[in-house]
Amino acid sequence: MDIQNIGIVGAGQMGNGIAHVFSLAGYDVLLNDISQDALNQAIVTISHNLERQVSRGKIEQSEMDAALSRISTTLKLEDLGVSDLVIEAATEREDVKNAIFERLLPHLKPETILTSNTSSISITRLASRTDRPEKFMGFHFMNPVPVMKLVELIRGIATDEPTYHALLKVVESLGKTAASAEDFPAFIVNRILMPMINEAVYTLYEGVGSVKSIDESMKLGANHPMGPLELADFIGLDTCLAIMNVLHDGLADTKYRPCPLLTKYVEAGWLGRKTQRGFYDYRGETPVPTR
């Protein structure tokens, strides 16, 4: 399968990061979103991140200019029909993802591979709603995409070998490493990471430690680069809660029950860095714990 044209649905934090790494690797990228402001901001973010790579000697100015020239944007989802590979990077809601694929299908080439950047939703179930379950995979990048080296490749029950091997080659061409995961709730990384974050929230909820003491304990006691509550804010507390609910519903095990405090923060709209408040308040010069 000759893959050159990449269509990306969603210009948010994950979508613009995916566009960044594909354009830098020489692919032609068409980035779609329902908001022109989001598309404009995505180009600004990609430019800023590429400039940072130039300033650190990671890439040349000519590579940055070439990468930016390979990125186009569109508000029309059907424009992605020319793509060899489509990566859906919209919000972590199954109904939204299904609606996107339903609108895309009539415009796609027969050979186009469909993928989702979902961090937890069943690939088999998403694929079953399309006309090409054999050419459908989970293509889960880690955040921030330009920095993190791992990509989880998740095969649905119907995914064929040519599709899997085509995406293995794509991951390699990006200079990243593929981890193959079976299609179970939250796959590998989030199956392990999210219960740890949820347990940290329980530790806070039960008064075992404060935000500061929990994060410092894991950074200095377990050599983690970020504390679990700091990391939760970075990921987004709504995303953490959504993944915990997928684990709880999909595996029917009480050990995955989301902490009530996590639910409360999400209900308050305190979703972490993106809303300026979560387990830390980011509205000042330095983050301040909120509990």
Checking if the pLDDT of 52 tops 90, the result is yes
Confidence of residue 104 (pLDDT cuts 50, 70, 90): very high
Q: What is the mean pLDDT of the chain?
A: 96
For the annotated catalytic residues, the residue numbers are 119, 140, 152, 190
Binding residues for NAD(+): 10-15, 33, 92, 97, 119, 143, 274
Domains of the chain listed by start with CATH number: 5-182 (3.40.50.720), 191-289 (1.10.1040.10)
Mean pLDDT of 84-95: 94
pLDDT surpasses 80 at 11: yes
Q: What is the pLDDT of residue 151?
A: 98
The yes-or-no verdict on residue 156 having pLDDT over 80 is yes
Where does the pLDDT of residue 92 fall: very low under 50, low under 70, confident under 90, or very high at 90 and above?
Answer: confident
Closest alpha carbon to 92 in 249, 278, 244, 239? 239
Report d(CA 81, CA 76) in Å as an integer.
10
